[in-house]
Chain A
Amino acid sequence: EAQVTQNPRYLITVTGKKLTVTCSQNMNHEYMSWYRQDPGLGLRQIYYSMNVEVTDKGDVPEGYKVSRKEKRNFPLILESPSPNQTSLYFCASSSLTGDSYNEQFFGPGTRLTVL
């Protein structure tokens, strides 16, 4: 089954404790992206990657890091989480062939709470 998986689905942590949210896709997609979703603000892009070893900042990259060492994986790293990073996080992937970019496949989401 074609899918994007994220782990963990739920995480409660404390300020300053480094964490990683994993994302993996099995569709051989070139493009991967992280979004955060907050009430009233919709989905905002954190970082994206066009291919292996190619990453770039989205609209809200502060406080986050990413890496793309393999095509299928795109982990999101919070080196020192703060309460304002409490949010619902989504990973997404898509092909970059033609207009396939428009159809991004989203993971199930990770609910992060930073105390």
Chain B
Amino acid sequence: GESVGLHLPTLSVQEGDNSIINCAYSNSASDYFIWYKQESGKGPQFIIDIRSNMDKRQGQRVTVLLNKTVKHLSLQIAATQPGDSAVYFCAETSYKLIFGSGTRLLVRP
């Protein structure tokens, strides 16, 4: 499949464990913060977003936490599965979408 980055930070977790992927953002004026997942050979896929006036939002097996004080965003994946192996991008948006450089998640069987 396509390589999206040769020097991405990598998180390796055991199948069944919880994963936490972190992201620092720069623009305090962003309206939304978003997580995308990119599997090998595919385009990015939307996972979840959070409005800037919230600090937590939950989806199916995923939770996003937003700490505006330290400009930090995290994605928590519960009971990580092999299908979760991918590169994860945080993004922020006010009038346009700006992507971070990504984190590679590897799930060990």
Contact = CB atoms under 8 A, between A and B. Distances in A.
B97 interface: yes
Contacts of B97: 33, 45, 101-102, 104
Contacts of B100: 42
Interface residues of A, number: 27
B44 A43 contact: yes
Chain B interface residue number, banded: 20 to 34
Binding site secondary structure of chain A: strand
Contact of B45 (A40, A99, A106, A109): A106
Contacts of B5: 39-40, 42
A101 B43 CA distance: 17
Interface of A: 4, 33, 35, 37, 39-45, 48, 58, 88, 90, 92, 99, 101-109, 111
